[in-house]
Structure 1
Amino acid sequence: MKGLEQKWKAPEQARISWFLIRWTILAIPLAILVGSLVAFFLWSLDEVTNLRLRNPWLLAFLPAAGVLIYFLYDLAGKRTEKGNNLILDEIHEPSTGIPLRLAPLVLIATLITHLFGGSAGREGTAVQMGGSLADALAKPFRLDQEDRKTLLLCGMAAGFGAVFGTPVTGALFAVEVLFLGQILHTALLPCLIASLLADITCQFWGVGHVSYSILSEAITLTVPENWWNSGMLLVKVILLGACAGLVSACFSMLTNQVKYISNMLIPRPWLVPIAGGLIIIGLSMIPGNQDYLGLGVWNADPSVVTISSAFSTGGAETFSWVWKLLFTAITIGMGFKGGEVTPLFFIGATLGNVLAVWMGAPVDLMAGLGFIAMFAAATNTPIACTIMGIELFGGEHFLFFAIACFTAYYFSGHTGIYSSQRSGIPKTGRLLKKIEDEP
């Protein structure tokens, strides 16, 4: 192969072996710490969610909760407000580091958000805790800047893999999210080691994850007698991917606009979360329920719209995805904490449910595809999300996972929920020409 030596060199293989051994040793303490903290976070999140569901009146205190979160971050320092983007910035351009106080701060703020009904996720909390702990370990490990970047990526991977129980996705997410159109292969195996060990640690503490399943029979595209049915389903999957990409772009732009307009119109920053809390309370009165508050993963009441219910016929209303999009954009855009990914799962799954009914497609399959495609579009990580489909739903529908995620990735344009994600190669760019033009 041009540009690569074909001759095997023992010294090079020895260096690679030492590289893997060294990073396994470095990843073990980080993964144990992150996995344990994520386990505590998931347990705490279940507790505060159940408490809110038993006491719906807690929603009335959401504005006050927003003020509390604002002053907690104000006392901790303005840099902590950047969240996931702070970690991405430190990897791109190392500066003063990630404060260790970010880990307990984002954990507490996320629990407050969910306790009082804010529509937010959990991946942001896990990733930020992972990055904060990784940077705290970089100094005693005496790592140089390049190794510190790799350790930060391992922290991100560990947090993501543990919080969702998807270790391979966690590793791919960390190395794919830095640049749009590029993957940082050098950190791939260290990130996988950290993500896998963190997930094992989280499970060791007895913390489980909600399981989803696609029971619809897989259709083989290459079998001639399936060509018509598989071709029609393929068209529907492509349409779903396109819709997911467009909705994701709307979500990203709306969240940014909510943040910009609220900061422009409201003179005092601490008043922004108060206004946000009041808007959420008012919005919740329109559908007449609290289905779109909090995490939205599961509910004992089968009449409540959740991610789990979206995998069944009748498990979502026509505009469920719109409501969740609005609630989340306002929650995140006006100062509450947690992350966007789990709400994106909700938006994608309910969108898939609605489109499945309209197009006459399998509901559980379309909900699962919407689940991962929306995430792929919002984070520009189609490969990681394709693998997430396999880790969550099994590999029978692998080809449809890829088609939905790749299509959504393109249709989201150059938007995303992480402002510090850098553009490596434009989605419609010409790769070979770009490489040839580089000095």
Structure 2
Amino acid sequence: ALIPLAGYVPGEAAGEHPYLEPTVGAFTPWILVAVMAIGGLISGWIVYTFAPEAEGHGTDAAIDAFHNKRGDIRARIPFIKTITSALTIGTAGSAGREGPIAQIGAGFGAFLASKLKLSARDRRIMMAAGMSAGVGAIFRAPLAGALFSGEILYREADLESDVVVPSAVASTVAYSIYNMTLPPELRFTPLFGELKFHVVSPLELLPYTALAVILTAVAVLYIKTFYGTHNLFKKLPIIPHLRPAIGATLAGLVGLALYYAYGADRDLLAVLATGYGTLQKAFSANQPAVHVLLAVALVKIITTSLTIGSGGSGGVFGPSMVVGGCLGAAVGQVFHQWWPEV
């Protein structure tokens, strides 16, 4: 609906491949907002009618199932999460894929374990392996996927060692199978393509240190904004089915306000959908301007908080990559102007 109706073509990462090639019409911003509202409305109705635990980014629900429910996840969750996340992201909601695929993978792992009548301990391991399989495949990072489920289960710097080996096997197999579904030229390539960067001087560590400090502050801002928005929507005196539609509508309006405020620059629309297109451009020699990168990074926090904090189904890790990548590119440009020899 997005592309033919609103004329909006979300940017993609270099390693992604569109499966459909619809006819693209003229960009109609207000139709885009209407499509986002409808997507949020349908997604919200499905989630809160059939599986309320599938709301939001899904990672918290998977962690709760691991620690408090003996790894038990209702069989309907993976299917509900797949549909509602596709609706949210496919209608330009600012969301990522990590949270949904983690809960989807965890759900399938728990379902398989229950059918095999495994113990509670083994069911939890299967659940964690499913999480790793999904993340390793969709981000094309099998090693990261292998470590993901063992690390994300705890707030502190702990690791669930029992799940590492099963998760590594599941992540590697899922990564391999997923790549076989891609066109030959994209198989076994990184999500954002082959990026070749070289450290030529130890002095480069100074800008990286400055970037680390900046990103730490922005990460805190992201977390507080997201959970603050989530708590605010929880207090609204309306049925929860309508909250994702309100959040999606507000996110669309914020995105369009930014778009028009900066002269209708299409790169600014990265604050909607995944935002990977502008992030991919930030990796290239033809980077967006500093003010565009900073605007995308900061406003992406707002649109993601509105989309997912309202109960929309989607992840928060993908948007965080866009936020961090755009900030990194902006800081890099500034330091290059001040210190071109480095």
Q: CA deviation at 1:213?
A: 4.0
Q: CA deviation at 1:187?
A: 1.8
- 2:270 corresponds to 1:295: no
In 2, the alpha carbon distance for the partners of 1:335 and 1:177 equals 21
Q: CA deviation at 1:59?
A: 3.2
Does the C-alpha gap of structure 1 residues 152 and 73 become closer, same or farther in structure 2, counting only changes over 3 Å?
Answer: same
Does the C-alpha gap of structure 1 residues 90 and 269 become closer, same or farther in structure 2, counting only changes over 3 Å?
Answer: closer
Does the C-alpha gap of structure 1 residues 80 and 325 become closer, same or farther in structure 2, counting only changes over 3 Å?
Answer: closer
In 1, the alpha carbon distance for the partners of 2:220 and 2:22 equals 32
CA displacement 1:73-96 (0-9 Å, x = unmatched): 122132333622221112112258
- 2:240 corresponds to 1:269: yes
- 2:49 corresponds to 1:75: yes
Instruction: Choose the corresponding residue for 2:199, options 210, 218, 228.
Output: 218
Does the C-alpha gap of structure 1 residues 79 and 342 become closer, same or farther in structure 2, counting only changes over 3 Å?
Answer: closer
Q: How does 1:283-362 map to 2 (within 5 A)?
A: 283-287=254-258, 288=260, 289=264, 290-298=269-277, 306-313=278-285, 314-316=287-289, 317=292, 318-360=294-336
Matched with 1:116 is 91
Q: Confirm or deny: 8 A CA contact 1:49 1:294 kept in the other structure.
A: no
**Count of residue pairs brought into register by the alignment:** 304
Does the C-alpha gap of structure 1 residues 356 and 79 become closer, same or farther in structure 2, counting only changes over 3 Å?
Answer: same
Q: How does 1:122-271 map to 2 (within 5 A)?
A: 122-179=97-154, 180-206=156-182, 208=186, 210-219=191-200, 229-230=201-202, 232-271=203-242
Does the C-alpha gap of structure 1 residues 109 and 266 become closer, same or farther in structure 2, counting only changes over 3 Å?
Answer: same
Does the C-alpha gap of structure 1 residues 361 and 336 become closer, same or farther in structure 2, counting only changes over 3 Å?
Answer: farther
Matched with 2:12 is none
Question: What residue ranges of structure 1 are gaps of 5+ in the alignment?
Answer: 1-42, 220-228, 299-305, 363-439
In 2, the alpha carbon distance for the partners of 1:186 and 1:89 equals 18
Letter in 2 for 1:297: Y
> With structure 2 as the length reference, what TM-score do the two structures score?
0.81
CA displacement 1:287-311 (0-9 Å, x = unmatched): 225332111212xxxxxxx110111
Letter in 2 for 1:157: S
Question: What residue ranges of structure 2 are gaps of 5+ in the alignment?
Answer: 1-14
Q: Confirm or deny: 8 A CA contact 2:129 2:167 kept in the other structure.
A: yes
Does the C-alpha gap of structure 1 residues 53 and 131 become closer, same or farther in structure 2, counting only changes over 3 Å?
Answer: farther
In 2, the alpha carbon distance for the partners of 1:87 and 1:268 equals 24
Q: CA deviation at 1:113?
A: 1.2
Q: CA deviation at 1:214?
A: 3.7
Letter in 1 for 2:198: E
Per the alignment, in what secondary structure is the counterpart of residue 273 of structure 2?
Answer: coil
Greater C-alpha Rg: 1
Q: Confirm or deny: 8 A CA contact 2:94 2:319 kept in the other structure.
A: yes
Per the alignment, in what secondary structure is the counterpart of residue 124 of structure 2?
Answer: helix
Q: Confirm or deny: 8 A CA contact 1:66 1:113 kept in the other structure.
A: yes
Relative contact order (alpha carbons < 8 A, sep ≥ 6): 1 or 2 greater? 2
Q: Confirm or deny: 8 A CA contact 1:161 1:170 kept in the other structure.
A: yes
Does the C-alpha gap of structure 1 residues 307 and 105 become closer, same or farther in structure 2, counting only changes over 3 Å?
Answer: same
Does the C-alpha gap of structure 1 residues 111 and 48 become closer, same or farther in structure 2, counting only changes over 3 Å?
Answer: farther
In 2, the alpha carbon distance for the partners of 1:124 and 1:45 equals 21
In 2, the alpha carbon distance for the partners of 1:353 and 1:213 equals 17
Matched with 2:35 is 61
Q: Confirm or deny: 8 A CA contact 1:67 1:274 kept in the other structure.
A: yes
Q: CA deviation at 1:277?
A: 2.5
> With structure 1 as the length reference, what TM-score do the two structures score?
0.64
Q: Confirm or deny: 8 A CA contact 1:49 1:114 kept in the other structure.
A: no
- Aligned-pair identity in percent equals 23
CA displacement 1:252-300 (0-9 Å, x = unmatched): 11011111112224433233223213312321222225332111212xx
In 1, the alpha carbon distance for the partners of 2:256 and 2:325 equals 23
RMSD of aligned residue pairs (Cα, Å): 2.8
In 2, the alpha carbon distance for the partners of 1:360 and 1:137 equals 52
Mean CA deviation greater in 82-91 or 105-114: 82-91
In 2, the alpha carbon distance for the partners of 1:115 and 1:44 equals 15
Q: Confirm or deny: 8 A CA contact 2:94 2:271 kept in the other structure.
A: yes
Q: Confirm or deny: 8 A CA contact 2:71 2:123 kept in the other structure.
A: no
Q: CA deviation at 1:99?
A: 1.4
Does the C-alpha gap of structure 1 residues 280 and 263 become closer, same or farther in structure 2, counting only changes over 3 Å?
Answer: same
